[in-house]
Structure 1
Amino acid sequence: MLPWIIVILLAVTLIVGAAFVLWNSFVNTEPADPREAAREQAGQVEAEYISAEKLAEMTYAIDDIITNLADPAFFVNASFTFELDSADAKHEFELLAYKMKDVINTTLSDMTPEQVRGSEGKDALTAALINKTNELLHEGKVRHVYITKFIVTEQ
């Protein structure tokens, strides 16, 4: 009888151990706060230094975009600076500036004043602009969008 008890206890121990390992491997351990998750990811990435001169060669500014938001009682006056990953990408971005302005106008016109309010709203706007402008580029990619002016006014 003792050998059977030992075999059963060993089997239960192995099953519990396997369940624990699987549970830990499949459970999402990312923080609930997206900013905390971004900080953790940024800590794992080594950043390369880019000089200010080189950075100036890879940025393009679009100033004074004035458009209505989704709520027609509100309009926005905004300026953006796009940081690209190469000088070739900047050249292509300059040639497609009219398309980029259209992307900005349509993105803003789909957003309500509540959606663009605060840092979370600005983050959502810049993320949408990065995604939409990168779809138009073939030579490179937009790395970051800086909002240099953003004024929401009620008419």
Structure 2
Amino acid sequence: MKKNKLLTIMLIILITITLIGVVIFVLLTQFNKQQAAPPEPTIDEILEASVDVPELTTNLADNSIVRLTLKLQTDSKEAAEELVKRDFQTNNIIIEELAEMTKKDLDGKQGKVMFESTIKSKINELMQEGEVQQVYITSYIIQ
């Protein structure tokens, strides 16, 4: 009689532990699905949310001359539309930043990455509808 009662208690405990484990597993998998990152945008969506900066030619701090064009990728179509309206401010920021730099500052990959990062943060300070996610140098000549 005691063995049967002990067996019943052990079976109840085992079923309870199993049920708790299943509930925890289901909750964790559902939680991870909700936190999954949104899908990467397609190239068409990226192009729709991007703005071309026309070719700029300006002097650097060391009297070198740089000519470049940029593409600014934003996080939404609305942000791109705002950026088109702010083209004069964007050009001003780019020219001001280049005026502070020397030819050596722009040398190599690291110099260009630093320039892109600076432009991105300065433009994002202006933005009200979204933000610039990436700055691409699409052409670059320095003399």
TM-score bucket (shorter structure): 0.7 to 0.9
Who wins on radius of gyration, i.e. which is larger? 2
- Percent identity reads 28
Match of 2:93 in 1: 103
TM superposition score normalised by structure 2: 0.73
In the other structure, the counterpart of 2:122 is 132
> Hey, which bits of structure 1, 4+ residues long, moved more than 6 A?
none
- Which of 38, 47, 59 in structure 2 is aligned with 1:56? 47
Report the Cα distance in structure 2 between the residues aligned to 1:59 and 1:103, rounded to whole angstroms. Answer: 18
Q: Are 1:69 and 2:60 an aligned pair?
A: yes
Q: How far apart in 1 are the matches of 2:82 and 2:92? A: 16
Aligned to 1:22: none
Q: CA RMSD in A?
A: 1.4
Query: C-alpha displacement at 1:49, in angstroms?
Result: 1.6
Q: Provide the residue aligned with 2:131 in structure 1.
A: 141
* Residue 55 (structure 1) shift: 1.0
Alpha-carbon offset, residue 124 of structure 1: 0.5
Question: For structure 2, which runs of at least 5 residues remain unmatched after alignment?
Answer: 1-35
Tell me, in whole angstroms, the C-alpha distance in 2 between the residues paired with 1:48 and 1:120.
Answer: 29
The whole-number CA distance in structure 2 between the counterparts of 1:96 and 1:83 is 14
3-state secondary structure, aligned to 2:51: strand
Give the secondary structure class of the aligned counterpart of 2:58: strand
Q: Alpha-carbon deviations, 1:41-84, whole Å to 9, x = none?
A: xxxx9573211211111000112110000112x01000000000
Q: 1:85 aligns with which of 66, 69, 75?
A: 75
Q: How far apart are residue 116 of structure 1 and its match?
A: 0.4
What amino acid is the match of 1:64?
Answer: E
Alpha-carbon distance in structure 1 between the residues aligned to 2:132 and 2:111:
19
